[in-house]
Every structure is written in C-alpha cells, then in structure tokens.
A and B are shown apart, each in its own frame.
Chain A
C-alpha cells in the first residue's frame, strides 16, 4: 500500500441534540491518487465525514492529517481541499465562468493564467461555450459539470464529492459517472466520494468504506467487499439478499 496522503485519526463528532450525522472514532488512510468511495445510508455520517475533512465541521475528538501536516485546526479556506455538494451550490448571482473563476480569484492567480484556466476547465467538462450563461438556465447535468469545473479549477490537493450524482436521472448519471472517472484519471486526483449508490462506488473507487450509524464498518477493495461483506448491513447495502 502507498504511504498515507490523507489520514483520518480517531475522529469523533457528537451533536448535542441528535445522533444522526454523528461520527464515532473513525480512522482510515487514503493514498495519493486513490479514489475512496464512502458508502452508507442516509444519516450514517457520510456527509459529516466530508465536512470534517474540508474543515466545515469541527471535530469533537481526533485529528485530520493531509500531506503530513495536521490540519485539524486549519480553517477551510486555507486547506486547499475541494468540496462539491450534492445540490452543487452554484452561486446564483454569478454566471458559469464567474463560478469557475471564483476559486482562482481567491487564490490571486494572475489574470491571464486565470482566464486560460477557466477556459481549460470548461473544456474538460465539455461546457466550453457556456461561460457567459446564467446558472439558472442550466440543466441538472450541466449544473453538475459546472460545479465540478469550479471545484477542480484551483487544483485542490484533495477532491471531496458529496453524492455528485444525487439529483440526476439514471441516464445522465451513467454517462456522467464514466466522464467523471475519466477526468479523475486524467488529472490524477485524490478523491473521497460519498454515495449511497453501490454501482457508482464500484465503478469509480479503488477502495470502499462502509459507514453505519457513524461507525466505519468495513474498508476494502470492491471485489473483497463484494465477496466477504463484514456483516448483514454491508451485505444489504451491496444489494445482496
């Protein structure tokens, strides 16, 4: 196994009023260039895990280490981690190019490089002509691709995807999953990918982590997971009967 690029070290998150979305003593490593899928039903703590890694959620206990640096106390805007939300969260008052440009402006990239980068990103997601479009006029699939372009534009060290296909229909989902796999591969991205959909996890991931009620139940390569699910819940998530 490659040396750890991202380490989640005994992380717990407790909410004062509910157990949904809590995390309980989670530990695992992700190697550089790895794609990890986090699989679990709703309320299992998948999204909380991504929020912890990105710094939007403070941990009750534990550490997050990225590239050998402890970033547990680092505020989100200094982490260099890209996070793409389920509903894409495109800025409604900015057009497509301005959305993609946002992270580059924050990084104070010189203007000429910036415009080049924006064009390149839109090209990669297949929306080269869409720069001046209003985000409200986009279809679900287009919004999803703009969100992806915006997230990878500042070249994050780590890409976090929270159910990126969540709001799409079956057909565009299948097409976009294979496009996404290709982009991840081409750019050599390290990815943590949250989903409740078994087939997405199997298609994209090198390894799959299964969360249940805030606990890490199993972490293994897809084949192994499929052959030897740790318990009945994992088997059920994988669609075994």
Chain B
C-alpha cells in the first residue's frame, strides 16, 4: 500500500507538474538560444546590413557589381563545381568502405571504425600541410599537384571520407542482408540487387552524408587557402581576402550573403532527407547483420579497402611526421627546438611554442561553454514527447544546426564588425576566440547529446522509482550515468574542434596570442625550409593532441548511435 502511494497523484497536481516541466524546458532553451542570438545571429545580421546598406541607405548595386565582375563569377562557379566534385568523389570512394563496415566481420574492425574519426577532426591546416608533403613539389613520386584542383579534391576526400563511411555505414548495417539474399534467389544479379534493394534503402543516408560533405567543401577554408594557390579561390577564401587584405567589406558581405543562401538551401534539403530516413528500417543488432568473409573476392574487397585507407591517410600523415624530424643536419628534434625561440628564420613576436598553451586554454574555455549550453539545449530538445514540445524542439534543433553550415570565416568576420564598438567591445578581448569556437562546436555537441538523452528508456526511471528511488535519486542513478558517456564524447569533440579551428580564428587571433593552426599558417607563409620544417613540427604536435582527444572520445561513445 505504501509503495502505491506516490502513484496516486491527483489530476490537477499532475497538470501543474506538466506546466512546470514545460516552463523548465523553455528556461533551459533560453541560454543556448540567447548565446546563438548574440554571437551568431547578430554578427551575421550585421554582415547582411553591411552588404545591403553600405552607407546608411539601402543599396543593391553592390550585388550587381559583384555578379558582373568576371573574376567574382569565376570564384562563384569554381566554389560550386569544386564542392560538387568533392562530394561526388568522396561518396564514390567511400561507399565501398561503408559496405565493408556494414557487412563484414574482420579483425580490427572496431579500432578502424574509431580511427576513421581522426582525419575528420584533424585541423584543416594539418591536413593541408600533410598533403603538401605528398603532392607538393618534391613530394612523393615527383608529382606536383600543388595549386591544382586535384590537391583540393584529394584533401577534401581525406577530410570527409569518415562522414560518408560512418553515416552510410551505420544505416547500411541495419539493413538485413537477407533482403539482398532474397533478391539474389529471386534471380537478381549483384548489380541489380544493389540498384533495386540496397540503393533505395541507403539513399537517404547517402543524401544526408553528401549534403554534409558538400557544406564542408563549400565552406572549406584552410585547405583551399593553402593548397589552392592563386588560381583556385573559393567564396570562403575570397571573403577572407576581401576583408583582411583589401578592406572591401561591402563585397565581402555580399559574398557572405550568397554563401549563406546556398548553405540554408542545402540545410533545408538535409533536414528533409533526415526526416524521411529511418521510416523503413527496423533496428537490429549489427552483429546479426555481419557476415564473415569466406570467398577470396570478399577477402580482396576488404584488403583493397584497407589498403586504400592506409594510402589515403597513412602516407600523408606518416610523411608529415617524418619530415618534421628530417632537418638539414639529419634526423632530429631541430625543428621542434626551433619552435621555442624567436630567433633564426622566424620573425614572430612570440616563440611559436606559446601557441600550444594558447590553443589548450581556448579549447578548455570553448569546451566548457559548448557543453553547458549544449546540455541545456539537448534537454530542451528531447522534450517530453508531447506535440507542442516536438514542434518547439524541431525549431530549436534546426536553429542550433545552422552554425554547422555557416562558414567560420563569416562568423569571424561578423565578430569583427559587431564586437569592436559599444555596446559590446570585445575587439581586444581574449574571449572572442573561445566564444567563436563554442559556436562552431555547439551543433556537434547537441548532435551527440540528444541521442544520449533520448536513449534513456522512460521505463528505467519508472522502474527505479517503483524500487523506491526519489526523483533526485533517479536523476543521479539513471540519467547521469547514461548521459555522462555522451557528455564525455561531446567534450572530446568540442575540444578537438576548438584545437583545429582556423577560419574564424584567422580573423580574431591577436598577433601575440596565436593558436596552433594560426602559428602553422604563419610559418607556411614565410619562405625557407626552416619555416616549413617548423610548420611540419607544429602540425605533428597538433595532430598528436587531436589523436589523443579522439581516442578518448570513442571510449566513451554510447553504443549504437555513432555517426559522428
């Protein structure tokens, strides 16, 4: 009788509880949305105004100027087709690996699945520098692709391979292989099985992955800046140059608007493909879907996939490390030692090694901001399953995703415009960088936390409370342990993103407080092997830091929800 008492709540009391819960959720959504408003919407809105009202009155002539300028049109066209080419290439190259992970059981599968994350979170500057080592002049096999579109495409595939493999692979692994086998026994040759059965079932996840790859390629900055040379320029690089080099803020604003429009269109498409997926597939455990490799074609399929990954990732990164130790005086730590002084060939104000401390400090602050806001947002998004809460959560969700697609350069540029005058003058403040990093990391954090929170079966809480746990005990014994795993993974991700962020930081970093990617870029900009070696050494340190963080991530990742 005593045990039944807590369940006998009067109707009015429970309605009051509901209302209070809704209020709490609304309250929880406020800080992240406010943060987004001040540090994302406002700066971006300021860019809009700068483009449309350059001198206090509405002026659309700048648009005409930009669109009629052949060099601008070339930049626009190049950005579009290069992103499209990167996307198609990446999907084509990564689909076999997605199939491999989804269908076969093999040694080292789990480790490889985790390791794939490394190139994805690797700082773009590191990716670009390690690519330079392979396909730059004097690189492997004597080919020099530096400054060609191929260098950009290969780097984009390097960077985005994991997005396709992990997104599509996760969906593919939930498709019962017996569907394909049934089609075989019904007379379908392999290519028709793929076209008629597999493809329709993975199509929406391919679309989702492709739209992400397109966005990342479309707004890619570090890679294009370093590998594109003078002839290959994208919108993102052009925005940076127009602002930082030529001080044409109005032109930069127009370009940023054009970019935003494309991004929003793609995001809307992405949202649609997301809503359509997961309608058809019943979830099963992945192990039920796996097949061991038996025939030699299957063995060759897996071997060639792994070989491809080894070449794509191993060669550039291996060469990067090797070159960082290969000084003019033979193998050694020469370049690493050079990072600690300001003499020699480098002319920076501070020893480059200071950047390591700066980066770590900014990453800690950015991670803390992103986690607190992300947790509030995720809790509000998960809601209580009622209709009003699901509409509310969809809007919050979408709003928080927009920074994912917006270029970091736009964010950095917007900060520059907005925060150097009252009411908020943060121009010389150290806070701007971690805040910008938190904006970039927030969508990922929310993406990781929401499934973690959703995965808590309400019956667990009910079971705990019928066993006598008070609401607070339920929170501590059920919610916290389950969510803490996602929280740890999200923290790792935010940290890695902050470590590698380049686009926004390029605008915001003060000369005396560079982050590691900025220090690498500066070293690359100076002539001579000595500086190039320092860039290699710094890149190696940054890569190692990132690898450590990412290895920690997958240890905590909740099972079954992993895409990013």
Contact = CB atoms under 8 A, between A and B. Distances in A.
Contacts of B184: 55-56, 75-77
Contacts of B200: 93
Interface string A148-192: 001100100000000000000000000000000000000000000
Contacts of A57: 294
Nearest to A106: B187
Contacts of A80: 187
B259 to A, nearest CB: 36
Nearest to B196: A102
B174 to A, nearest CB: 11
Contact of B176 (A16, A78, A89): A89
Given A17-B292, A91-B179, A102-B196, A83 B201 contact: no
A229 interface: no
B182 A83 contact: yes
A77 B200 CA distance: 20
B189 interface: yes
Contacts of B176: 87, 89
A110 interface: no
B181 interface: yes
A224 interface: no
B280 A106 contact: no
A81 B187 CA distance: 9
Nearest to A98: B196
Contact of B192 (A56, A58, A82, A106): A106
Interface string B164-176: 0000000000001
B329 to A, nearest CB: 52
B186 A154 contact: yes
Interface string B273-307: 00000001100000000001011000000000000
A12 to B, nearest CB: 13
A92 interface: yes
B176 to A, nearest CB: 6
Chain A residues touching B, range: 20 to 34
B188 interface: yes
Contact of B185 (A17, A76, A91): A76
B281 A77 contact: no
Interface string A80-103: 111101010101110000000011
B178 interface: yes
Given A102-B196, A106-B192, A58 B295 contact: yes
B182 A85 contact: yes
Chain B: interface residue count, which band?
20 to 34
* Residue from the set B186, B196, B201 with the largest chain A CB neighbour count within 10 Å: B186
B183 interface: yes
A77 B280 contact: no
B201 A106 contact: no
A23 B311 CA distance: 40
Contact of A58 (B181, B281, B294): B294
B197 interface: yes
A16 B185 contact: no
Looking at A77, A80, A85, A150, the one whose CB has the most chain B CB atoms below 10 A away is: A77
Interface in B79-137: none
Contact of A106 (B181, B186, B292, B294): B186
A89 B178 contact: yes
Contacts of A77: 184-189
B185 A92 contact: no
Most buried by A among B183, B187, B196: B187
B280 A136 contact: yes
Contacts of A55: 184-185
Contacts of A76: 181, 184-185
B281 A92 contact: yes
B284 to A, nearest CB: 10
Interface in B188-213: 188-189, 192, 196-197, 200-201
Contacts of B295: 58
B179 A106 contact: no
Contacts of A79: 185
- Prevailing SS type, chain A contact patch: loop
A241 interface: no
B317 to A, nearest CB: 33
A81 B186 CA distance: 8
A93 B196 CA distance: 10
Contacts of A82: 185-186
A2 interface: no
A92 B186 contact: no
Contacts of B188: 77, 102, 106
Given A77-B189, A92-B201, A106-B188, A85 B178 contact: yes
Contact of A89 (B182, B187, B196, B280): B182
B280 A92 contact: yes
Contacts of B281: 92
Nearest to B187: A106
A83 B185 contact: yes
A107 B187 contact: yes
Nearest to A83: B185
Nearest to B281: A92
Nearest to B295: A58
Given A15-B292, A83-B182, A92-B280, A103 B201 contact: no
Residue picked from A80, A91, A103, most chain B C-beta under 10 Å:
A91
Interface in A111-168: 136, 150-151, 154
B205 to A, nearest CB: 13
A54 interface: yes
Of residues B179, B182, B188, B200, which shows the largest number of chain A Cβ atoms within 10 Å of its Cβ? B182
Nearest to B193: A77
B185 A54 contact: yes
Contacts of A103: 186-187
A102 B183 contact: yes
A87 B200 CA distance: 20
A90 to B, nearest CB: 8
Contacts of A87: 176, 178
A93 B294 contact: no
A237 B188 CA distance: 37
Contacts of A81: 185
B277 to A, nearest CB: 12
Contacts of A54: 185
Given A15-B292, A85-B178, A150 B280 contact: no
24 contacts: A15-B292, A56-B181, A58-B295, A75-B184, A76-B184, A77-B189, A79-B185, A82-B185, A83-B182, A83-B185, A85-B178, A85-B182, A87-B176, A87-B178, A89-B178, A91-B197, A92-B179, A93-B201, A102-B196, A106-B183, A107-B187, A136-B280, A150-B182, A150-B186
Interface of B: 176, 178-179, 181-189, 192, 196-197, 200-201, 280-281, 292, 294-295
Given A151-B185, A154-B187, 6 more contacts: A58-B294, A76-B185, A77-B189, A85-B181, A107-B187, A136-B280
7 A-B pairs with least C-beta separation: A106-B187, A103-B186, A89-B178, A76-B184, A92-B280, A83-B185, A89-B182
